[in-house]
Structure 1
Amino acid sequence: MPEKNIGISQQTLVSNSGENENSARKLPQYIAGLASTLGALAAGMVLGWSSPAGSKLATEYQIPISETEFSWISSIFNLGAATICVPIGILSDIIGRKKAMLMLVIPFTIGWTLIICSNSVVMFDIGRYILGVSGGAFCVTAPMYTGEISESSIRGSLGSYFQLMLTAGILIAYVLGSVIPIFTLSLISAIVPLIFFGVFFFMPESPTYFLKKGQVDAARQSYKWLRGSHYNIEPELMAQNEAIELANRNRVAFTVAIRSKAAQKGLFIAFGLMLFQQLSGVNAIIFYSSEIFKSASSTPDEQSDTPTIIVGAMQVIAVFVSTLIVDKLGRRILLFISSIAMCITTLILGVYFYLQSIDYDTHSFNWLPLASVCAFIILFSLGFGPIPWMMMGEIFSPQIKGIAGSSACLFNWLMAFVVTKFYSDLKNAFGPHTTFWIFSVICLIGAGFIYMFVPETKGKSLDEIQVELGGNMTSELPRQNNKI
């Protein structure tokens, strides 16, 4: 039977790659994976730009910028990212992952040009929106590309590069923004997408894309580039091609698949995780970290670049650690610990700012905001940062994964916009202490959501996850296909 053949050929492939480490070259796969995630580095620099720009932008460009106007400049990036989530998935299926990512250099260049040459708040807004389109598109295409080019033995490592490079980009923007003008930072940030284009141009297209288009010879050449000419790519090529053909034969109508109990519960979990990820206040803390530390300082004009850089460094380290432990400890426990820890740290921040608001002498506790924010970022990056994105590929059946995953991505960026746009308004209306207490309560509710509704997916096949969610994968996808 076709299903059995696929299972055997894939098992043989995995076995061969595990027993003979020299059978396929790993270096070309790492090179292609890192080249693709240079786009994530560029997106991270766009995200990190807001923090140093908050205190310098109006002065350097000699443009009056109110706090509300800057909140739009910071947050409109998220609207641009939300706009592109669904279209970029469709475009990458039509023209290919590589071409779609290379095309993103155009809006990146336009966006940074508007920022660099800006003479009004409107130009800043338009530039940031266009940069959001580029950055949001990379959040969809880069993980897709790295997942499709890599062997199963290194797929986890390559898949973690995206989040790692994104946080590295944020850290670079923090560091550079502390020592150079925002104009210069924008120029450097504009060069990174061009470097990505120059490097990624020479990388191969995803072999999976070629097979989906029926271009077997092109897929064979891509596999040879990625695995080495001496490696026998035929078993892997045949297994992947048969898997795609089998998925097409067993495909059911989207309107039928989306009404299943498993799909409905999967959507509930996905949207819940994205909601609590953003309403935890993480983007407010990242985008406005300079202001948070300056507000907590006993001297208002004290430079707060150093603690902001520390926060960025902690985020990079924590994401790296998360890639090492998520398959050992499990998704659910890390999400729960992350949510409880974020609840406690935002509660402490709220208490600190409340004491300031009643003129209590907090001089001896000036270290507390830095410690709390670092703890928040570390625990967020260990759990609620990467895991919701990871679970998007685990809780949906193949029939609805594309649209359902894109919809969750769209919802995530919209929630990120709400938090970054209205954080300043909320802080001004109710005070920073109340704002952080609101984040704390939301994190506590999120912990309850995880405890009651989120399943553990570690070590489970797609079939087992669907059954646990209330579905029956065997009616949609043969059990043997889960070996792939």
Structure 2
Amino acid sequence: MTEHARQRIPPFMRQLLAVSGVVLYMIGTGANIAYPGVLLEQLRDPQSTLKLTEDHESWIASILGLALISGILAAPFSLQRLGRRLTNQLSTLPAMGGWALMVAAGGPAALLISRTLQGFAMGLQAAAAPVSIAEYSAPKHRGAFLATIAFSFAAGMLVAHILGTLMFWRSAAIACGSFYLVSLILITLSPETPPYLASIGKFNECRKAFRWFRGHDHASEKELEILLNSQKKEVNEVKVNRYRHYRSVIMKPEFYKPTVIMMFMFILFQISGMTVVPSYTVPMMKEVTDGSIEDYTSMLMVDILRFTTAVVSCFVVNKLNRRTVLFLGVIISVVSLLSAALLLYLRDLEYIPEQYKWVPVIPTLGYIFGKTLGILPIPWTIAGEVFPLAYRSLGSGVSGMFLSLMFFVVVKTAPTSFREIGVNGTFCVYAICISICGIFLYFLLPETKGKTLYEIECHFKGIDCEMIKTDGTEHDNMLELVKVEVGRDDGE
């Protein structure tokens, strides 16, 4: 292929194509999370032929969390043995099967099986999405591309609620499931990620894929050479003493430090109400508004704010430091939750006049804004950056377990929490938990903006080396260091 032919499609557009396949999948994931918000409302209609008990409703909303565990457990094996691309492709199949069963469901059992299939697929993708996007992306675009995961969640939630408001729930399920089909097509059009090809010793294929994604400029070629040389060293080490290599993984700081960070990240993600609010938007906002705003209007108001903020976060994450965005979101969320709880408490005591009973809506929307701006995008951004390539699949799986467990616990207990301590008490619990996670992350989380994945790996390894600059200038010290460690080129 000539240089002219190579440049017909800019590298950014090729990265965008690959990322779009994952983004569409995550839109489907957002729809999965939010769909019970409209499904359960329609099934509560006295004229509905499909009847559910309150216990059925809580299981339909929360079973995704349990099913996520099976997908998370399968993810490390799939990502390492099958690769990022094939894992993304295969994960669309149970998702589409789940939506198809949802369309045909005749009773609670079919709905639960449908949600279980969707949850398994979500578990696979929860590990695969940030890893895939990070490995597709150039450092200067990686923050914005990883932030599209947050955008995708918000878009999927908005789409599910709009479709569920305008359409019968079975028709809405067909529309939501169609995102996975388009996702499968786009993923199939993209090659495997270069870091994965390098990690399994396919260095020639890695070169082709890397240049397909990143072009042939000087800075990219330097980064490619470092990637290849560092992975030749890893491959040789594993070949020499594989058992000893894997036994020592858990004790390595470049594995356990990112894993602990992501544990707190995903606990923060779930305990902030990230999946509770979409599943129970209508009953939550009904209590917040005290009937002053129509139910579906308040639901769509929340969705539109979340979607708009998620779009803004794509730019904010790419412009500001990761830590700045995260802690800004944490502070706004905590202050807004406590303010909303206080106003709800005062309203219950009748200290707020009747004409102002809608006032708690303002801090509640502030809470939605804060968690969508910082708490939604940053965990997924960091998840794609902090794990070294050699342990990326395993680390994503281990930390993802906390995501799935917390998903189930928080969503399953939400109806009881709303009933026993009210929305104001639940908001206080969320605020306290967000604060605790935020304090831990303040001391644990390093800044990753603008760094290559190898530079971040060096940070956790404690290697003090010169960093490759992402603006086209570079220092050769790190490249020479890697070459010395490798010793020779292995014929490549």
Report how far residue 410 of structure 1 moved.
1.4
| TM-score using structure 1 length | 0.82
Report how far residue 174 of structure 1 moved.
1.7
Moved more, 145-154 or 454-463: 454-463
Report how far residue 414 of structure 1 moved.
1.0
Residue 7 of structure 1 is matched in structure 2 by none
Using the alignment, how far apart are the partners of 1:399 and 1:234 within structure 2? Answer: 21
1:472 counterpart letter in structure 2: G
Report how far residue 439 of structure 1 moved.
1.5
Report how far residue 394 of structure 1 moved.
4.7
Whether the 8 Å CA contact 1:257–1:399 is kept in 2: the answer is no
Among candidates 148, 165, 170, match of residue 152 of structure 2: 165
2:462 counterpart letter in structure 1: N
Q: Are 1:91 and 2:83 an aligned pair?
A: no
Deviations, residues 306-335 of structure 1 (Å, cap 9, x unaligned): 222222222233233333333554233333
Q: Are 1:330 and 2:318 an aligned pair?
A: no
1:271 counterpart letter in structure 2: M
Using the alignment, how far apart are the partners of 1:220 and 1:266 within structure 2? Answer: 28
Deviations, residues 278-305 of structure 1 (Å, cap 9, x unaligned): 22223222321111122234448x6322
1:96–1:113 CA distance, 2 compared to 1 (3 A) = same
Q: Are 1:295 and 2:287 an aligned pair?
A: yes
Using the alignment, how far apart are the partners of 2:41 and 2:110 within structure 1? Answer: 18
Report how far residue 445 of structure 1 moved.
2.5
1:266–1:141 CA distance, 2 compared to 1 (3 A) = closer
1:73 counterpart letter in structure 2: I
Among candidates 209, 228, 231, match of residue 196 of structure 2: 209
Moved more, 105-114 or 225-234: 225-234
| TM-score using structure 2 length | 0.81
Among candidates 277, 286, 291, match of residue 285 of structure 1: 277
1:23–1:299 CA distance, 2 compared to 1 (3 A) = closer
2:77 counterpart letter in structure 1: I
Using the alignment, how far apart are the partners of 1:240 and 1:403 within structure 2? Answer: 20
Report how far residue 347 of structure 1 moved.
1.6
Q: Are 1:408 and 2:395 an aligned pair?
A: no
Residue 342 of structure 2 is matched in structure 1 by 351
Whether the 8 Å CA contact 1:473–1:479 is kept in 2: the answer is no
Moved more, 355-364 or 34-43: 355-364
1:415 counterpart letter in structure 2: M
Using the alignment, how far apart are the partners of 2:366 and 2:261 within structure 1? Answer: 26
Q: Are 1:51 and 2:37 an aligned pair?
A: yes
Report how far residue 103 of structure 1 moved.
1.8
Residue 139 of structure 1 is matched in structure 2 by 126
1:150 counterpart letter in structure 2: S
Q: Are 1:386 and 2:382 an aligned pair?
A: no
Whether the 8 Å CA contact 2:92–2:181 is kept in 1: the answer is yes
Report how far residue 424 of structure 1 moved.
0.5
Report how far residue 218 of structure 1 moved.
4.1
Report how far residue 49 of structure 1 moved.
0.9
1:228–1:257 CA distance, 2 compared to 1 (3 A) = closer
Report how far residue 189 of structure 1 moved.
1.2
Among candidates 59, 62, 68, match of residue 49 of structure 2: 62
Report how far residue 412 of structure 1 moved.
1.4
Report how far residue 360 of structure 1 moved.
5.7
Report how far residue 107 of structure 1 moved.
0.7
Using the alignment, how far apart are the partners of 1:275 and 1:65 within structure 2? Answer: 30
Whether the 8 Å CA contact 2:75–2:127 is kept in 1: the answer is yes
1:296 counterpart letter in structure 2: V
Moved more, 148-157 or 408-417: 148-157
Whether the 8 Å CA contact 2:149–2:377 is kept in 1: the answer is no
Residue 432 of structure 1 is matched in structure 2 by 423
1:256–1:424 CA distance, 2 compared to 1 (3 A) = same
1:426–1:365 CA distance, 2 compared to 1 (3 A) = same
Report how far residue 258 of structure 1 moved.
2.4
2:62 counterpart letter in structure 1: S
Whether the 8 Å CA contact 1:224–1:231 is kept in 2: the answer is no
Gaps of 5+ in 1: 1-20
Whether the 8 Å CA contact 1:227–1:233 is kept in 2: the answer is yes
Whether the 8 Å CA contact 1:97–1:141 is kept in 2: the answer is yes
Using the alignment, how far apart are the partners of 1:350 and 1:241 within structure 2? Answer: 54
Residue 24 of structure 2 is matched in structure 1 by 38
Q: How does 1:81-480 map to 2 (within 5 A)?
A: 81-219=68-206, 221-223=208-210, 225-226=212-213, 238-249=225-236, 253-260=245-252, 263-299=255-291, 303-326=294-317, 328-358=319-349, 363-458=354-449, 472-473=462-463, 480=479
Whether the 8 Å CA contact 1:24–1:231 is kept in 2: the answer is no
Residue 67 of structure 2 is matched in structure 1 by 80
Report how far residue 432 of structure 1 moved.
2.4
Moved more, 122-131 or 278-287: 278-287
Q: Are 1:28 and 2:14 an aligned pair?
A: yes
1:23–1:422 CA distance, 2 compared to 1 (3 A) = closer
Using the alignment, how far apart are the partners of 2:453 and 2:19 within structure 1? Answer: 25
1:377 counterpart letter in structure 2: I
Q: Name the SS for the 2:359 alignment partner.
A: helix
1:42–1:119 CA distance, 2 compared to 1 (3 A) = same
Whether the 8 Å CA contact 1:343–1:440 is kept in 2: the answer is yes
Using the alignment, how far apart are the partners of 1:231 and 1:445 within structure 2? Answer: 45
Whether the 8 Å CA contact 1:207–1:223 is kept in 2: the answer is yes
Using the alignment, how far apart are the partners of 1:456 and 1:91 within structure 2? Answer: 29
Using the alignment, how far apart are the partners of 1:402 and 1:110 within structure 2? Answer: 25
1:98–1:460 CA distance, 2 compared to 1 (3 A) = closer
1:149–1:61 CA distance, 2 compared to 1 (3 A) = same
Report how far residue 229 of structure 1 moved.
10
Moved more, 431-440 or 357-366: 357-366
1:321–1:254 CA distance, 2 compared to 1 (3 A) = farther
1:333–1:58 CA distance, 2 compared to 1 (3 A) = same
Whether the 8 Å CA contact 1:348–1:372 is kept in 2: the answer is yes
2:61 counterpart letter in structure 1: S
Report how far residue 63 of structure 1 moved.
2.7
1:423–1:382 CA distance, 2 compared to 1 (3 A) = same
Whether the 8 Å CA contact 1:67–1:424 is kept in 2: the answer is no
Report how far residue 460 of structure 1 moved.
6.5
2:287 counterpart letter in structure 1: S
Whether the 8 Å CA contact 1:277–1:384 is kept in 2: the answer is yes
Residue 9 of structure 1 is matched in structure 2 by none
Report how far residue 448 of structure 1 moved.
3.0
Whether the 8 Å CA contact 2:127–2:396 is kept in 1: the answer is no
Gaps of 5+ in 2: 1-6, 239-243, 466-476, 484-492
Q: Name the SS for the 1:281 alignment partner.
A: coil
